[in-house]
């Protein structure tokens, strides 16, 4: 059984099925295979509706304000696609549904620089990763880089060209990064010969056309084996050793308004936790505390980080417009990791109007790590992250943007995250850790204390990948599942 259908879960399902194993995937979110009343499966970023948020009655948009005015609005409570999960000091955004984060993310498929890898996964052989598993992951995900010639003239990447000009004038390297979007489709969107998708602002609440989410890649191949069953709208609540061997997995069947309509128990020989860094950590700390899996290691719950995410915008001069038409798919970044500890994605602001704003999501070298614990009285997992821990991220991002502002004679936008607030320091898109490789598990994701229980998602990665994380999550899953199939089956 595989709990969760994101990157780690999809790799596990495909490779196990190819090895002849029957796999049952359980996913708390919806299947996202049926169009809504507007004929589309996914809602647009600019017009959130019931499909957009996981069990909220009001949107919680990462970019909450514009010109200081709040953007959030009421929506019907529904098992929507984006979860803005709130912990004490941070809101953690995650995808919900068959495909996990691949449903909502920007598709930026970035392999870390090899010189940074030892800090990302210190116990893993870098030679194997860069020789075998990163290439395998990138091929499986369908990652490709924008056609550089087309990029130079496409209206929808004017914002990225402005970002490049400003980066270079301040002496920063500007790098194209691969994405899983179908670039030929995007060219046709720009040419007006295909239905607009990235160019219609479809990203945060799903993408109806060009993006190759896991549903189009790993999961499609997994289903084609005939050995993989996916059960959506079921949330796993417990895993415990079964009397006759294997594990009893308990799950709630959810209605689309989030109510539990039934509870089921199934038995599985082996269980893979692939519920994402937060989902896996929450489950494991609960199961250790309530005695269902009491032998789990004390490291379970520890080593959680936000990949150093921090957002900001810059106000450009009137002669530097970023374009009313912006592709929602980012394609480049400013790499100041070695000097300043920041890699800044040049991000779109697809509002449909000219904003004269440059927008960035920075990934920074933030040393802080938090821990998940189980609060039995409240019946929930808690995370001890503090908002003040974002200061090193802000400092790192400033090594890029203070310099650019000084060079360009520009200022930070103060209207995007509240009134007079420069930094989006309240959130992360990249939760990592909580069941760290080599600490809560062995060096291949086998949970310490139990045979036949594995972690195979972002929970294995100790808090930071130096770039956007899903390629590393996928490559590590490819490495671990190969070993597990060879030795444990
Ligand atoms: P993932 O979160 O993908 O999957 C876990 C699945 O388990 C989910 O579908 C969840 O619903 C399910 N689940 C959880 N608990 C469960 C339970 N108890 N029972 C059953 N199911 C359960 N990364 C990147 O590399 N490039 C990018 O451009 C971006 N952009 C980006 C934008 C936004 C808005 C977000 C939110 C995230 C990104 N990311 C990203 C991050 C990336 O999407 C993320 O790192 C991966 O999806 C994590 O993969 P996992 O396999 O760890 O879990």
Number of domains in the chain: 1
> In terms of DSSP bridges, do strands 453-455 and 271-273 run parallel, antiparallel, or are they unpaired?
parallel
Of 275, 265, 288, give the one whose Cα is nearest residue 376.
Answer: 288
Is 471 part of a structural domain of the chain? yes
Euclidean distance between CA atoms 140 and 160, whole angstroms: 27
Q: Which of 1, 6, 12 most suits a substitution to test ligand 1, by most atoms within 8 Å of the C-beta?
A: 6
Q: What digits encode the pLDDT tens for the residues 182-202?
A: 999 999 999 999 999 999 999
Structure tokens at 480: 């671990």
Assign residue 112 the CATH number of its domain.
3.50.50.60
Is 286 part of a structural domain of the chain? no
Euclidean distance between CA atoms 316 and 161, whole angstroms: 13
Closest C-alpha to ligand 1, atom 26:
108
Distance 394 CA to ligand 1 centre (A): 24
**Alpha helices per DSSP H over 19-75:** none
* φ and ψ at residue 284, rounded to 5 degrees: -70, -40
- Nearest atom (ligand 1) to Cα of 234: 20
Q: C-alpha distances in angstroms, 272 versus 101, 109, 150, 239? A: 17, 24, 42, 11
Q: Which of 345, 408, 478, 482 is catalytic?
A: 345
**Percentage helix, strand, coil for the chain under 3-state DSSP, each rounded to 5:** 30, 25, 50
Using DSSP's 3-state secondary structure scheme, residue 336 falls into strand
**Alpha helices per DSSP H over 19-78:** none
Distance 271 CA to ligand 1 centre (A): 19
Distance 405 CA to ligand 1 centre (A): 33
Distance 29 CA to ligand 1 centre (A): 11
> Tens digit of pLDDT per residue, the chain (489 long)?
999 999 999 999 999 999 999 999 999 999 999 999 999 999 999 899 999 999 999 999 999 888 878 899 999 999 999 999 999 899 999 999 999 999 999 999 999 999 999 999 999 999 999 999 999 999 999 999 999 999 999 999 999 999 999 999 999 999 999 999 999 999 999 999 999 999 999 999 999 999 999 999 999 999 999 999 999 999 999 999 999 999 999 999 999 999 999 999 999 999 999 999 999 999 999 999 999 999 999 999 999 999 999 999 999 999 999 999 999 999 999 999 999 999 999 999 988 899 999 999 999 999 999 999 999 999 999 999 999 999 999 999 999 999 999 999 999 999 999 889 999 999 999 999 999 999 999 999 999 999 999 999 999 999 999 999 999 999 999 999 999 999 999
Is 128 part of a structural domain of the chain? yes
> In terms of DSSP bridges, do strands 427-428 and 411-412 run parallel, antiparallel, or are they unpaired?
unpaired
Q: Which of 78, 234, 426, 430 is catalytic?
A: 430
Residue 449 CA to chain centroid, in angstroms?
Answer: 29
- Nearest atom (ligand 1) to Cα of 82: 36
pTM: 0.98
Euclidean distance between CA atoms 130 and 112, whole angstroms: 10
Task: Based on the residue annotation, tell me whether 345 is a catalytic residue of this protein.
Answer: yes
Euclidean distance between CA atoms 146 and 100, whole angstroms: 24
pLDDT at 419: 84
Is 191 part of a structural domain of the chain? yes
Is 232 part of a structural domain of the chain? no
Is 482 part of a structural domain of the chain? yes
Let me know: does 295 contact 449? Beta carbons within 8 Å: yes
Distance 87 CA to ligand 1 centre (A): 17
Ligand 1, residues at Cβ distance < 6 Å? 3-9, 26-29, 93-97, 100-101, 104-108, 204, 235-236, 274-277, 279, 283, 429-430, 457-458, 468-470, 473
Q: Containing domain of residue 121, as a range?
A: 2-220+303-488
Is 265 part of a structural domain of the chain? no
Query: CA torsion angle for 185, 187, 188, 194 (degrees, to 10)?
Result: 50
> In terms of DSSP bridges, do strands 332-336 and 174-176 run parallel, antiparallel, or are they unpaired?
antiparallel
Q: C-alpha distances in angstroms, 267 versus 15, 249, 270, 481? A: 21, 6, 9, 21
- Nearest atom (ligand 1) to Cα of 277: 52
Is 248 part of a structural domain of the chain? no
């Amino acid at each position: 059984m595989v709990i969760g259908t994101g990157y780690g879960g999809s790799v596990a399902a495909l490779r196990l099925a190819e090895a002849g194993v029957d796999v049952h995937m359980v996913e708390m979110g919806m299947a996202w295979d049926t169009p809504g009343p507007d004929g589309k499966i996914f809602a647009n970023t600019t017009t959130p509706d019931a499909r957009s948020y996981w069990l909220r009655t009001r949107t919680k948009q990462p970019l909450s304000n514009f010109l200081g005015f709040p953007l959030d609005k009421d929506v019907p409570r529904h098992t929507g696609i984006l979860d803005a999960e709130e912990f004490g000091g941070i809101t953690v955004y995650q995808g919900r549904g068959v495909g996990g984060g691949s449903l909502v993310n920007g598709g930026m498929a970035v392999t870390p620089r090899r010189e940074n890898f030892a800090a990302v996964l210190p116990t893993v052989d870098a030679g194997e990763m860069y020789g075998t598993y990163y290439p395998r992951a990138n091929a499986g995900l369908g990652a490709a880089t924008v056609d550089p010639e087309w990029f130079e003239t496409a209206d929808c990447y004017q914002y990225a060209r402005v970002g490049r000009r400003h980066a270079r004038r301040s002496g920063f390297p500007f790098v194209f990064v691969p994405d899983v979007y179908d670039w030929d489709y995007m060219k046709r969107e720009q040419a007006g010969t295909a239905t607009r998708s990235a160019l219609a602002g479809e990203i945060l609440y799903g993408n109806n056309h060009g993006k190759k989410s896991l549903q189009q890649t790993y999961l499609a191949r997994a289903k084609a084996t005939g050995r993989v069953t996916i059960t959506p709208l079921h949330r796993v609540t417990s895993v415990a050793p079964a009397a006759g061997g294997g594990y009893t997995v308990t799950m709630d069947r959810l209605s689309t308004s989030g109510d539990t309509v039934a509870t089921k128990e199934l038995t599985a020989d082996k269980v893979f936790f692939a519920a994402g860094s937060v989902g896996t950590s929450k489950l494991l700390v609960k199961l250790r505390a309530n005695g269902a899996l009491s032998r789990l290691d004390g490291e379970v719950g520890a080593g959680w980080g936000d990949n150093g995410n921090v957002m900001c915008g810059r106000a450009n001069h009137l002669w530097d417009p970023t374009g009313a038409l912006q592709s929602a798919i980012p394609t480049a970044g400013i790499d100041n990791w070695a000097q300043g500890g920041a890699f800044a994605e040049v991000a779109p602001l697809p509002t449909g109007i000219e904003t004269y704003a440059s927008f960035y999501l920075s990934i920074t070298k933030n040393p802080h790590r938090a821990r998940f614990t189980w609060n039995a009285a409240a019946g929930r997992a808690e995370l001890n992250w503090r908002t003040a821990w974002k200061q090193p991220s802000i400092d790192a991002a400033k090594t890029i943007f203070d310099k650019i502002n000084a060079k360009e004679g520009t200022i930070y936008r103060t209207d995007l995250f509240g009134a007079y607030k420069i930094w989006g320091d309240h959130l992360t898109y990249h939760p990592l850790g909580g069941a760290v490789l080599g600490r809560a598990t062995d060096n291949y994701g086998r949970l310490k204390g139990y045979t036949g229980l594995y972690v195979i998602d972002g929970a294995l990665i100790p808090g930071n990948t130096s770039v956007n994380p899903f390629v590393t999550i996928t490559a590590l899953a490819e490495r671990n599942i190969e070993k597990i199939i060879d030795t444990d089956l």
